[in-house]
Amino acid sequence: MAETSKKFNVVFMGTPDFAVPALKALGKNRYNVSMVVTQPDRPKGRGRKTVFSPVKQAAIELGYNVFQPSSIKTKEFAEKIIKADPDIIVVAAFGHVLTEKILGLPKFGAINIHASLLPEYRGPAPVQWAIINGGEKTGVTTMLMDKGVDTGDILLSQTEEILPEDTAETLMNRLSLIGADLLIKTIKRLFANNIIPVPQNHSGATHAPLLKKNDGRIDWKMPSCKIESFIRGVTPWPGAFTFYNKKRLKIFKSMPVTSISDENPGTVLKSFPDELRIATGQGVLSILEIQGKSGKRLNIKDFLKGNFIPPGSVLY
On whether residue 47 sits in a domain, the answer given is yes
HSE toward the beta carbon, residue 309, CA cutoff 13 A: 26
Q: What region, left, alpha or beta, does residue 258 occupy, with left being phi > 0 and alpha being psi -120 to 50 degrees?
A: alpha
pTM score of the predicted model: 0.94
The CATH number assigned to the domain holding 224 equals 3.10.25.10
State whether 149 and 69 are in the same domain.
yes
State whether 164 and 247 are in the same domain.
no
On whether residue 315 sits in a domain, the answer given is no
- pLDDT by residue for the chain (316 residues), tens only, comes to 444 455 789 999 999 999 999 999 999 999 999 999 999 998 877 777 888 999 999 999 999 999 999 999 999 999 999 999 999 999 999 989 999 999 999 999 999 999 999 999 999 999 999 999 999 999 999 999 999 999 999 999 999 999 999 999 999 999 999 999 999 999 999 999 999 999 999 999 999 999 999 999 999 999 999 999 999 999 999 999 999 999 999 999 999 998 889 999 999 999 999 999 999 999 999 999 999 987 899 999 999 999 999 999 999 9
End-to-end CA distance of the chain: 58
Task: Please identify, among 204, 229, 262, the residue that sits at the C-terminal boundary of a domain.
Answer: 204
State whether 231 and 200 are in the same domain.
no
The full 3-state SS of 227-246, as one line of letters, equals: HHHHHHHCCCCCCEEEEECC
State whether 49 and 196 are in the same domain.
yes
pLDDT value of position 3: 42
The residue segments making up the domain with residue 92 are 2-204
Counting the structural domains of the chain, the total is: 2
The CATH number assigned to the domain holding 101 equals 3.40.50.170
pLDDT value of position 6: 54
On whether residue 316 sits in a domain, the answer given is no
On whether residue 67 sits in a domain, the answer given is yes
On whether residue 314 sits in a domain, the answer given is no
- DSSP class of 41: P
pLDDT value of position 77: 95
Report d(CA 251, CA 123) in Å as an integer: 26
pLDDT value of position 1: 43
On whether residue 311 sits in a domain, the answer given is no
Task: Please identify, among 161, 183, 204, the residue that sits at the C-terminal boundary of a domain.
Answer: 204
State whether 63 and 121 are in the same domain.
yes
Report d(CA 150, CA 157) in Å as an integer: 14
State whether 224 and 153 are in the same domain.
no
Task: Please identify, among 177, 204, 231, the residue that sits at the C-terminal boundary of a domain.
Answer: 204
Query: Rounded to 5 degrees, what are φ and ψ at 242?
Result: -150, 175
State whether 143 and 242 are in the same domain.
no
